[in-house]
Amino acid sequence: MSRVYSVKDNTVENRLFVNRIIAAFVVIFILTTGLVARLVYLQNC
C-alpha cells in the first residue's frame, strides 16, 4: 500500500481564496447594477 502525503500550501490556498472572493464580488456587482438599472427603467416607464 502506498500512501500519498500532501503538504498544505498556505500560499496557494490563500491565493485561491482571494480569487474566489474577487469573483464573487464581481458577480454581486454585476447583479446589483442590473437590478438598479431595471429599477430605474421601471420607474421611468
The predicted structure's pLDDT at residue 8: 79
Could you tell me the pLDDT band of residue 5, with boundaries at 50, 70 and 90?
low
The shares of helix, strand and coil residues in the chain, as percent rounded to the nearest 5, are 75, 0, 25
Rounded Cα–Cα distance for residues 22 and 28 (Å):
10
Residue with cell 496557494: 12
Instruction: Read off φ and ψ for residue 7, nearest 5 degrees.
Output: -95, 135
Residue reference for cell 502525503: 5
Residue ranges covered by each domain of the chain? 11-45
**pLDDT digits 0-9 by tens, 15-40:** 999 999 999 999 999 999 999 999 99
pLDDT category at 45 given cuts 50, 70, 90 is confident
Given a cut of 80, whether residue 1 has pLDDT beyond it is: no
